[in-house]
Structure 1
Amino acid sequence: MSQVGSVRKRKDASTPAKAKDALSTGVAAPLVAELQTPVQAKPGAEWDYRIALAIITVLAFVTRFWGISHPNEVVFDEVHFGKFASYYLERTYFFDVHPPFGKLLFALMGWFVGYDGHFHFENIGDSYISNKVPYVAFRAMPAFLGALTVPVVFTIMWESGYILPACILSACFVLFDNAHIGQTRLILLDATLVFAMACSLLCYIKFYKERHEPFGRKWWKWLLLTGFSLSCVISTKYVGLFAFVTIGSAVLIDLWALLDVNRRQGSLSLPEFGKHFTARVIGLIIFPFFFYLFWFQVHFAILYRSGPGDEFMSPEFQETLSDNAMTANAVTIDYYDTIQLRHKETLAYLHSHPDRYPLRYEDGRVSSQGQQVTGYPHADANNHWQIIPLTNDEILGHHVKNNDLVRLRHVVTNTMLLSHDVASPYYPTNQEFTTVPMEEAYTNRLNDTLFELRIEGGKAGQEFKSLAGQFKLVHHPSKVAMWTHTTPLPDWAYKQQEINGNKNIVQGSNVWFVDEIPSIPEDSPRLIKEERKPTSRPFILKWLELQRAMFVHNNALTSSHPYASQPYMWPFLFRGVSFWTHADTRQQIYFIGNPIAWWITSSLLAVFAGIIGADQLSLRRGIDALDSRTRSRLYNSTGFFFLAWATHYLPFYLMGRQLFLHHYLPAHLASALVTGGLLEFVFNVEPSLDDPSFSKPGKKGTIEHKRHLPAREKLAGQSHLAAWAALGVTLTLIIGGWYFFLPLTYGYPGLSVAEVNARKWLGYDLHFAK
Structure 2
Amino acid sequence: RRKPPIFFRFNIQVDMVALTFFFCGLATRFYKLAQPKNIVFDELHFGKYVGMYMKNIFFFDLHPPLGKLLISLAASLADFNGKFKFDKIGSPYDDSVPIFALRFIPALCGSLMIPSAYYLLLELGCRQWTAALGAFLILFDNAFLTQSRFILMEPMLLLTTILGLLFLLKYRNMRHSLGIIWWITLACSMVFLTFSSCIKYIGFSALSLGVVIVWRDFWGILPDKRLSNKQLLFRGLLLGGTMLLIPLSIYIAVFHVHLSLLYKAGPHDSIMTSAFQASLEGGLASITKGQPLEVAHGSQVTLRHTHGKACWLHSHAEVYPIRYTDKRGSSHQQQVTCYTFKDLNNWWIIRRPNKSNLVVTSPPDAIKHGDIVHLIHGITGRALNSHDVSAPISPHNQEVSCYIDYNVSMPAQNLWKVDIINREVEGDVWHTIQSQVRLIHVNSSQALKYSGRQLPAWGFNQMEIVTDAVLQQDDTVWNVEEHRYTRFDDEKERERDLINAEMIPLQGTKLSWWTKFSELQYKMLFPSQENVQSHMYSSDPLEWPLMTRGIAYWVSSQHNGQIHLVGNIAVWYAGTVCLILYSSLFVFYLLRRRRLCFDVDPETWDHFVNAGITLFCGFLFHFLPYFFMDRTLFLHHYFPALLFKVLLTPVVIEHIHV
Decide: shared fold, TM above 0.5.
yes
Correspondence list, 1:418-457, <5 A? 418-437=385-404, 445=411, 448-453=413-418, 457=422
* Residues 1:145 and 1:378: Cα distance change in structure 2 (over 3 Å): closer
- Aligned match of 1:569 in 543, 551, 558? 543
Matched residue, 1:765: none
Q: Hey, what's the Cα distance between the residues in 2 that align with 1:176 and 1:229? A: 25
Task: Tell me the alpha carbon deviations over residues 461-518 of structure 1, each in whole angstroms, 9 at most, x when there is no partner.
Answer: 54654x7777544323323333345644345545544332233334333436556878
* Residues 1:351 and 1:174: Cα distance change in structure 2 (over 3 Å): same
Correspondence list, 1:371-382, <5 A? 371-375=334-338
**In the alignment, structure 1 residue 229 sits paired with structure 2 residue 192:** yes
Matched residue, 1:22: none
**In the alignment, structure 1 residue 114 sits paired with structure 2 residue 79:** yes
* Residues 1:362 and 1:533: Cα distance change in structure 2 (over 3 Å): closer
1:281 Cα deviation (Å)? 1.3
1:588 Cα deviation (Å)? 2.0
Q: Hey, what's the Cα distance between the residues in 2 that align with 1:361 and 1:381? A: 28
1:126 Cα deviation (Å)? 2.7
- Aligned match of 2:558 in 569, 574, 584? 584
Matched residue, 1:535: 510
Is the 1:388–1:406 contact (alpha carbons within 8 Å) kept by the matching residues of 2?
A: yes
**In the alignment, structure 1 residue 75 sits paired with structure 2 residue 40:** yes
1:145 Cα deviation (Å)? 0.9
Is the 2:419–2:439 contact (alpha carbons within 8 Å) kept by the matching residues of 1?
A: yes
After superposing the two structures, state which structure 1 stretch, 484-493 or 250-259, moved more.
484-493
Matched residue, 2:99: 135
Identical counterparts, % of pairs: 29
Matched residue, 1:259: 222
Matched residue, 1:290: 249
Task: Tell me the alpha carbon deviations over residues 65-89 of structure 1, each in whole angstroms, 9 at most, x when there is no partner.
Answer: 1122122122222222222222222
**In the alignment, structure 1 residue 167 sits paired with structure 2 residue 131:** yes
Is the 1:454–1:474 contact (alpha carbons within 8 Å) kept by the matching residues of 2?
A: yes
Is the 2:304–2:481 contact (alpha carbons within 8 Å) kept by the matching residues of 1?
A: yes
Q: Which amino acid aligns with 1:88?
A: Y
- Secondary structure of the residue aligned to 2:527 is helix
- Secondary structure of the residue aligned to 1:481 is strand
Task: Tell me the alpha carbon deviations over residues 610-667 of structure 1, each in whole angstroms, 9 at most, x when there is no partner.
Answer: 2222222333344332233322222223543222222222232233333222122122
Q: Hey, what's the Cα distance between the residues in 2 that align with 1:616 and 1:241? A: 30
Q: Which amino acid aligns with 2:444?
A: S
Matched residue, 1:612: 586
* Residues 1:502 and 1:559: Cα distance change in structure 2 (over 3 Å): farther
Matched residue, 2:446: 480
Q: Normalising by structure 2, report the TM-score.
A: 0.86
1:147 Cα deviation (Å)? 0.9
1:364 Cα deviation (Å)? 4.2
Q: Hey, what's the Cα distance between the residues in 2 that align with 1:58 and 1:470? A: 58
Correspondence list, 1:23-102, <5 A? 50-102=15-67
1:190 Cα deviation (Å)? 1.3
After superposing the two structures, state which structure 1 stretch, 198-207 or 407-416, moved more.
407-416
* Residues 1:120 and 1:375: Cα distance change in structure 2 (over 3 Å): same
Q: Hey, what's the Cα distance between the residues in 2 that align with 1:533 and 1:376? A: 25
1:573 Cα deviation (Å)? 0.9
Number of residue equivalences: 628
1:587 Cα deviation (Å)? 2.2
Task: Tell me the alpha carbon deviations over residues 351-374 of structure 1, each in whole angstroms, 9 at most, x when there is no partner.
Answer: 23244432x434443433334334
* Residues 1:378 and 1:637: Cα distance change in structure 2 (over 3 Å): closer
Q: Hey, what's the Cα distance between the residues in 2 that align with 1:381 and 1:395? A: 18
**In the alignment, structure 1 residue 505 sits paired with structure 2 residue 471:** yes
Instruction: Identify unmatched segments of 5+ residues in structure 2.
Output: 1-9, 485-493
Q: Hey, what's the Cα distance between the residues in 1 that align with 2:303 and 2:165? A: 53
Q: Hey, what's the Cα distance between the residues in 2 that align with 1:589 and 1:503? A: 53
- Secondary structure of the residue aligned to 1:562 is coil
Is the 1:146–1:184 contact (alpha carbons within 8 Å) kept by the matching residues of 2?
A: yes
Q: Which amino acid aligns with 1:504?
A: V
- Aligned match of 1:663 in 631, 634, 637? 637
Matched residue, 1:672: 646
- Secondary structure of the residue aligned to 2:445 is coil
Matched residue, 2:331: 368
* Residues 1:374 and 1:633: Cα distance change in structure 2 (over 3 Å): closer
Matched residue, 2:7: none
Matched residue, 1:310: 269
Which one has more relative contact order, counting CA pairs under 8 Å at least 6 apart?
Answer: 1
Matched residue, 1:211: 175
- Aligned match of 1:124 in 89, 105, 114? 89
Q: Hey, what's the Cα distance between the residues in 1 that align with 2:342 and 2:612? A: 63
Q: Normalising by structure 1, report the TM-score.
A: 0.75
1:329 Cα deviation (Å)? 2.8
Q: Which amino acid aligns with 2:239?
A: R
Q: Hey, what's the Cα distance between the residues in 2 that align with 1:283 and 1:364? A: 62
1:557 Cα deviation (Å)? 4.6
* Residues 1:439 and 1:526: Cα distance change in structure 2 (over 3 Å): farther
Is the 1:204–1:223 contact (alpha carbons within 8 Å) kept by the matching residues of 2?
A: yes
After superposing the two structures, state which structure 1 stretch, 143-152 or 292-301, moved more.
292-301
Q: Which amino acid aligns with 1:228?
A: V
Q: Which amino acid aligns with 1:574?
A: T
Pick the structure with greater CA Rg: 1
Task: Tell me the alpha carbon deviations over residues 579-636 of structure 1, each in whole angstroms, 9 at most, x when there is no partner.
Answer: 2222331222222211111001111111111222222233334433223332222222
* Residues 1:433 and 1:45: Cα distance change in structure 2 (over 3 Å): closer
1:436 Cα deviation (Å)? 2.7
Q: Hey, what's the Cα distance between the residues in 1 that align with 2:436 and 2:235? A: 50
1:334 Cα deviation (Å)? 6.3
Is the 1:349–1:378 contact (alpha carbons within 8 Å) kept by the matching residues of 2?
A: no
Q: Hey, what's the Cα distance between the residues in 1 that align with 2:347 and 2:511? A: 35
After superposing the two structures, state which structure 1 stretch, 406-415 or 293-302, moved more.
406-415
**In the alignment, structure 1 residue 274 sits paired with structure 2 residue 233:** yes
1:95 Cα deviation (Å)? 1.7
- Secondary structure of the residue aligned to 2:526 is helix
- Secondary structure of the residue aligned to 1:409 is strand
Q: Hey, what's the Cα distance between the residues in 1 that align with 2:525 and 2:443? A: 33
Matched residue, 2:152: 188
Is the 2:62–2:527 contact (alpha carbons within 8 Å) kept by the matching residues of 1?
A: yes
Task: Tell me the alpha carbon deviations over residues 37-80 of structure 1, each in whole angstroms, 9 at most, x when there is no partner.
Answer: xxxxxx99997xx2221111111111111122122122222222
Is the 2:393–2:453 contact (alpha carbons within 8 Å) kept by the matching residues of 1?
A: no
1:116 Cα deviation (Å)? 2.3
Matched residue, 1:594: 568
After superposing the two structures, state which structure 1 stretch, 616-625 or 386-395, moved more.
386-395
Matched residue, 1:768: none
* Residues 1:479 and 1:95: Cα distance change in structure 2 (over 3 Å): farther
**In the alignment, structure 1 residue 603 sits paired with structure 2 residue 577:** yes
* Residues 1:289 and 1:134: Cα distance change in structure 2 (over 3 Å): same
* Residues 1:384 and 1:673: Cα distance change in structure 2 (over 3 Å): closer
Correspondence list, 1:691-706, <5 A? none
Is the 2:39–2:93 contact (alpha carbons within 8 Å) kept by the matching residues of 1?
A: yes
Matched residue, 2:610: 636
Q: Hey, what's the Cα distance between the residues in 2 that align with 1:61 and 1:115? A: 24
Q: Hey, what's the Cα distance between the residues in 2 that align with 1:534 and 1:115? A: 31
Is the 2:275–2:509 contact (alpha carbons within 8 Å) kept by the matching residues of 1?
A: no
* Residues 1:449 and 1:668: Cα distance change in structure 2 (over 3 Å): same
Q: Hey, what's the Cα distance between the residues in 1 that align with 2:501 and 2:336? A: 33
* Residues 1:473 and 1:76: Cα distance change in structure 2 (over 3 Å): farther
